[in-house]
């Protein structure tokens, strides 16, 4: 069955790195991929842009293609957007369809500090995406914990609803939202690090440009 993959993030703002790795993950898994903005991202300070502003940027970024779509369900909940709550809700909705939680290697490295992290494997597979400068299995404890679940075969992921960890090797792109916020705050114009749609409406990037205003 065609898997449904969820790529959660703060997307403050969405950048070309997110889009490119999500696109390649969708090809590698032959999956439908949804970008899923966190309303209140756990484990980090409040984003610069509001949830509504981040969703507007995502809409602008995703325009003109249909492979990647938007899932705003986390905006309907108050409090921290714990992934386990979201995935349990998705499991209820999608029955036995394979679900894959896509995580960049840096996000995956912190998995053991997540809310009820072990329960995630009851409801989803995890697809780990390489990221420049991050050793995907740098934590021996995490490597040991997931070793029995690892596979490099997408057909295994397609044949069961949850419980496996698959490494997805994508074109590495050293782009981060932190760097983009710094550039915008410095009055720079990171045109080719951001999707073109974000430049169509000047109000979309205003929250970051305002950081440099006196």
Ligand X SMILES: O=C(O)c1ccc[n+]([C@@H]2O[C@H](COP(=O)([O-])O)[C@@H](O)[C@H]2O)c1
Contact set with ligand ATP (CB under 6 A) = 9-12, 17-18, 21, 103-104, 106-107, 129, 131, 173, 175-178
Least spacing, CB of residue 21 vs ligand ATP, in Å: 4
At residue 146, φ and ψ (nearest 5 deg) are -100, -5
Handedness of CA 11, 37, 128, 66 (dihedral sign): negative
Compute and round to an integer the Cα radius of gyration of the chain. Answer: 17
Query: Looking only at residues 82 through 121 of this chain, which bind ligand X when binding is defined by CB under 6 A?
Result: 82-84, 107, 114-115
Which residue is nearest to ligand ATP, using beta carbons? 104
Binding segment (CB under 6 A) for ligand X, from list 35-43, 64-72, 188-196, 203-211? 35-43
Binding segment (CB under 6 A) for ligand X, from list 5-13, 125-133, 140-148, 200-208? 5-13
Quick one: 22 or 123, whose CB is closer to ligand ATP?
A: 22
At residue 126, φ and ψ (nearest 5 deg) are -125, 130
Query: How many Cβ atoms sit within 10 Å of the Cβ of residue 75?
Result: 17
Q: Quick one: what does residue 178 bind among ligand X, ligand ATP, none, with the CB cut-off 5 to 8 Å set by partner type?
A: ligand ATP
126 contact partners, CB below 8 Å, separation of at least 6: 100, 101, 102, 103, 108, 111, 120, 146, 164, 165, 166
Applying CB under 6 A, which residues contact ligand X? Answer: 8-10, 38, 41-44, 81-84, 107, 114-115
């Amino acid at each position: 069955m065609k898997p449904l993959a969820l790529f959660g993030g703060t997307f403050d703002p969405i950048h070309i790195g997110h889009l490119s790795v999500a696109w390649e993950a969708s090809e590698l898994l032959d999956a439908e991929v949804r970008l899923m903005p966190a309303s209140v991202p756990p484990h980090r300070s409040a984003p610069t842009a509001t949830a509504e502003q981040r969703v507007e940027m995502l809409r602008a970024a995703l325009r003109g293609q249909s492979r990647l779509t938007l899932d705003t369900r986390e905006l309907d909940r108050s409090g921290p957007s714990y992934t386990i709550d979201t995935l349990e809700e998705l499991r209820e909705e999608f029955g036995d369809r394979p679900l894959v939680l896509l995580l960049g290697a840096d996000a995956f490295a912190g998995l053991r500090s997540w809310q009820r992290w072990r329960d995630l494997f009851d409801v989803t597979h995890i697809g780990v995406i390489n990221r420049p400068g991050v050793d995907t299995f740098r934590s021996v404890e995490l490597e040991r914990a997931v070793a029995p679940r690892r596979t490099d075969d997408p057909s295994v992921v397609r044949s069961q609803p949850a419980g496996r960890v698959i490494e997805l090797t994508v074109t590495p792109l050293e782009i981060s939202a932190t760097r983009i916020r710094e550039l915008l705050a410095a009055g720079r114009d990171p045109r080719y690090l951001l999707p073109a749609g974000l430049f169509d409406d000047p109000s979309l990037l205003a929250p970051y440009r305002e950081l440099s205003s006196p």
